[in-house]
A and B are shown apart, each in its own frame.
Chain A
Amino acid sequence: GAVVSQHPSWVICKSGTSVKIECRSLDFQATTMFWYRQFPKQSLMLMATSNEGSKATYEQGVEKDKFLINHASLTLSTLTVTSAHPEDSSFYICSARDILADRPEQYFGPGTRLTVT
């Protein structure tokens, strides 16, 4: 149980284009999903907290107009990187919290490796 999927697992795009990453909780409902970014040899950096049916909460320094987050259902959140640039190349990981779980564990998706050329 508690499986989170991400799609795509990797993507290469040209500078200036937009890329959408999907995060799905496959066997549980998640009112809250989290989006992280991780650069090589660095720790996870929380970008935003996504709440079903409401606006995402962005961490300081993260541009909300550049990283659009939509959490339209209890099992799906999307992150759209708009007008991507090479510096946006990174490993993007989502996680989800099971609303019925008795501990505040986050279940992680496998990650999406984005390369912007």
Chain B
Amino acid sequence: GQNIDQPTEMTATEGAIVQINCTYQTSGFNGLFWYQQHAGEAPTFLSYNVLDGLEEKGRFSSFLSRSKGYSYLLLKELQMKDSASYLCAVTDSNYQLIWGAGTKLIIKP
């Protein structure tokens, strides 16, 4: 079956760095997405990785290793507004998005 695993909840301190991991097992692979979702709102796009390596975009970076079925989202200089759920999603061979359950990130002052 298809499966995406990510931690349920993480806590970090304002100004620090946090890494959210995602491992996947899917039938085929056509890219991995990270989305941010604040409570009561729809998800918003953060990053897309289809090749191995690190993609950096401001305070957020995303890494992919296809051979290991592994990705992480790195958030630097954490701000209180970064408190949200972070969703990992993989596009399979049918171009359907397979969603992880999301990681709730709690930022403490």
Q: Residues of A with Cβ closer than 8 Å to B?
A: 34, 42-44, 46, 49, 91, 93, 103-111, 113
Contacts and interface: CB of A to CB of B under 8 A. Distances in A.
B42 A109 contact: yes
Contacts, number: 41
Contacts of A43: 87, 99-102
A42 B101 CA distance: 7
Nearest to B30: A104
Given A103-B48, A104-B97, 9 more contacts: A42-B101, A44-B87, A91-B40, A104-B31, A107-B45, A108-B43, A108-B44, A109-B42, A111-B40
Interface residues on B, range: 20 to 34
A31 to B, nearest CB: 12
Which of A42, A44, A110, A113 counts the most chain B CB atoms within 10 A?
Answer: A44
Interface in B20-61: 30-31, 33, 35, 40-45, 48, 50
Contact of B33 (A44, A93, A105, A113): A105
A91 B95 CA distance: 24
A107 B30 CA distance: 17
A93 B43 CA distance: 9
B79 interface: no
A108 B87 CA distance: 13
A110 B37 CA distance: 11
Nearest to B48: A103
B11 interface: no
Contacts of B97: 34, 46, 104, 106
B96 interface: yes
A10 to B, nearest CB: 10
